[in-house]
Amino acid sequence: MYQVVPGGAGGTITTGIPIKQKMGKEGRPLVGAGVLGLVLVISAVTAWCYYIASLRKADLLKTELLDLNKDRFLIRNQAGAIVFRMAFRSGTLDLDSCSKEGEILSCSRSEAGKLNFFIQTVRPKGTVMCYRVRWEELESDRPVEHAMSYNGSHWYGGAESSTQHWPILITGQQAPKPFVTSDIYSNRNDFGGILERYWLSSNASAIKINDSVPFHLGWNDTEKTMYFQARYQDSPYKPNPGHPPFAELSYRVCVGSDVTSIHKYMVRRYFNKPNKVPSKAMFRHPIWSTWALHKTEIDQEKLLEYAANIQKYSFNCSHLELDDRYTSRYGEFEFDPVKFPNASGMFQKLKADGFLITLWTHPFINYDSANFHVGVQKGLFVREPTGMLPALVRWWNGIGSILDFTNQDARDWFSSHLRSLKLNYGVVSFKFDAGETSYLPWQFSTRTPLHDPSTFTRRYTEMAIPFNERAELRVGYQSQNISCFFRLIDRDSVWGYELGLKSLIPTVLTISILGYQFIMPDMIGGNVYPNRTDGGRRLPDRELYIRWLELSAFMPAMQFSVPPWEYDAEVIQIAQRFTALHETLVAPRVLELAGEVLDTGDPIIRPLWWIATGDETAYKIDSQFLIGDDLMVAPVLEPGKQERDIYLPAGRWRSYKGEIFDNKGPLHLTDYPVDLDEIAYFVWM
């Protein structure tokens, strides 16, 4: 052995045997300091290694404009501003399981176990950047939930609702619930009969949820977030046969340069387009319905009198709509012989007088109808979960079963009865009522299994295709290619945002953004339902009726039910003037835009931000709208008002009074006078 003698390299070796020496007190601090220094060096090196590794991981989990973290991701626009935030609420990623290959970030584990997760960057042509996102759990009964932040922007789209605002106004907290079509007149807190899994924001980002997702939607107004959830447990969604019930939340997020251009991109990429334009007469002339005036008390005498008065007061008529109820029982297709003792003669008279007639129809067969037994024997109905018996459902006109439109036999049976009505009476088309998923039982079975219950709505809308020249639907889900008019759900005869006059523009703008452009804004003045009419009158309030009429004149189609002659000569005169204005000014422009819809899918009725994409004020305006880019409409929607504030986008505009406004920037007209028999509108010059 050896001993090193103090003196360093100049010392000498005196023996190979180690000599034990007792360390003095003065040497101990030196050793402790050395050990501590060594520990600090090791710690520093370790920290540096972790830092370098974290930098590499952080760089790994980024793409050009996207950052991924264990509990969220965010997207920036080309200017570097954050325009989209999505948090992972149901679990966090194990970043050590993540990797990057080209434009794909993928991870295989969360803190709860195995999963399939990826974000793929897609670079379409132009200024748009898109991201495909997929989170699939690999254990049953484990939901996936992501939370989209409003991020200080305004959002549009989603669904028709009973209290409609533009942009979306979320209130309170809602746990995620099935995003399926529902009758919002009966269930005011549900999603509406026209909906799509699509949202658009004012900061030029948009999200489209994939069709395969068992999609549930919730929200929190405190957090300013919308919850996107995928789950199968306690849900009407079902996994595809033979596939495990692993929840998958997948969607596409796209970011562009402005809100209008990104919406144009999304519509062209992801939405169906109609393949034809409905009857031009429906755009030019009013539709007249018997419903609001006569309800179920309609009969042959009242129908003929109604038609005679249309002619008496010199109104045009696209067609006359015979609504509920002309049959003895719901589910039959023959006229009630008591109410319509000579149906054939009645139709001949109406035809001779120049009237085309459409009939109300629906998917229900009540249990007291003779056709109920036919449907049971032939297996035409939606069935209870075992598939052994037809399911009974309650709707607003009683109890019965609902036709299974996934069953070709049921489709053929229903269509054959509609064709017989056309053949026997000269009926030109039909008003297809109902069709919402909410009328299906919570648990049910159909001939073709439905992964997504709203597919039932899609199947029902297809029944209108043979009659689409003048057909009318009130539901839509992936149904933009059904080339007929889509009607807003029934309106109450009130002024407000809950199914009232103020809800018309927000609702029309919303379903336009969802790809439905041939829009019928329900009946002028509302439906005059008991306890849902301002003042409890037999008729809508006179002022409300006039303002409703004026607004409807600037929509793609007008629909009367309560007729003007129920009021007085002045109301008749106003109605005559505005139906003429609709025919000469509005319809030609709308028909031109309707032809463009077949190629572009662009809205006919447009929000003001369509031509003012950078203006914060334009994002929030819900009482004005555009027809195309060059006709701006600003109706009065408040009782007792004969003036209103008007926002005028930059440009050269001529008012309906002949005034010229040549403004380089947006212009606000305060207390602009609008008489009771007027509506303010401006034409781009």
Q: What is the pLDDT of residues 426-475, one digit of tens each?
A: 999 999 999 999 999 988 999 999 999 999 999 999 999 999 999 999 99
30 band by pLDDT with thresholds 50, 70 and 90: low
What is the pLDDT, as a whole number, of residue 29? 56
- For residues 286 and 569, what is the distance between their CA atoms, to the nearest angstrom? 19
Q: Which residues contact 203 (CB under 8 A, 6 or more apart)?
A: 77, 81, 83, 84, 151, 152, 153, 259
Average pLDDT of the residues of the chain: 92
- Measuring CA to CA, which residue among 472, 464, 516, 467 is closest to residue 490? 472
- For residues 370 and 389, what is the distance between their CA atoms, to the nearest angstrom? 17
What is the pLDDT, as a whole number, of residue 126? 85
Our CA dihedral for 480, 260, 153, 496, rounded to 10 degrees, sits at -60
- Measuring CA to CA, which residue among 110, 117, 413, 411 is closest to residue 250? 117
- For residues 552 and 676, what is the distance between their CA atoms, to the nearest angstrom? 15
What are the tens digits of pLDDT across the range 327-342? Answer: 999 999 999 999 999 9
240 band by pLDDT with thresholds 50, 70 and 90: confident
Place of tokens 């996934």: 406
What are the tens digits of pLDDT across the range 6-18? Answer: 333 333 333 343 4
Looking at residue 177, its amino acid is K
- For residues 554 and 587, what is the distance between their CA atoms, to the nearest angstrom? 8
Q: How far is CA 342 from CA 423, 427, 430, in A?
A: 16, 15, 21
Tell me the pTM.
Answer: 0.91
What is the pLDDT, as a whole number, of residue 53? 46
DSSP string computed for 359-397? EEE-SEEETTSHHHHHHHHHT-B-B-TTSSSBPPEEETT
Query: What H or E segment, with its residue span, contains residue 589?
Result: helix 587-600
3-state secondary structure 240-308: CCCCCCCCEEEEEEEECCCHHHHHHHHHHHHCCCCCCCCCHHHHHCCEEECHHHHHHHCCHHHHHHHHH
Reading phi first (left if > 0) and then psi (alpha if -120 to 50, else beta), residue 242 is in left
- For residues 254 and 75, what is the distance between their CA atoms, to the nearest angstrom? 10
- Measuring CA to CA, which residue among 638, 637, 631 is closest to residue 681? 631
pLDDT average, residue stretch 635-656: 97
What is the pLDDT, as a whole number, of residue 243? 85
Residue 577 near residue 605 (C-beta atoms within 8 A) = no
What is the pLDDT, as a whole number, of residue 14? 37
For 635, half-sphere exposure in the C-beta direction (CA atoms, 13 angstrom radius) is 27
What are the tens digits of pLDDT across the range 535-556? Answer: 767 899 999 999 999 999 999 9
- Measuring CA to CA, which residue among 43, 583, 600, 620 is closest to residue 282? 583
pLDDT average, residue stretch 256-276: 96
Would you say residue 569 has pLDDT above 70? Answer: yes
- How far from chain centre, in Å, is Cα 679? 29
- For residues 345 and 353, what is the distance between their CA atoms, to the nearest angstrom? 12
What are the tens digits of pLDDT across the range 301-330? Answer: 999 999 999 999 999 999 999 999 999 999
pLDDT more than 90, % of the chain: 85
Q: How far is CA 121 from CA 60, 94, 102, 104, 246, in A?
A: 14, 21, 9, 7, 25
- For residues 55 and 528, what is the distance between their CA atoms, to the nearest angstrom? 66
Would you say residue 269 has pLDDT above 80? Answer: yes
For the chain, count helices (H), then strands (E). Answer: 14, 34
pLDDT average, residue stretch 238-250: 91
What are the residues facing 626 on neighbouring strands?
A: 606, 632
Would you say residue 609 has pLDDT above 80? Answer: yes
pLDDT average, residue stretch 199-211: 97
534 band by pLDDT with thresholds 50, 70 and 90: confident
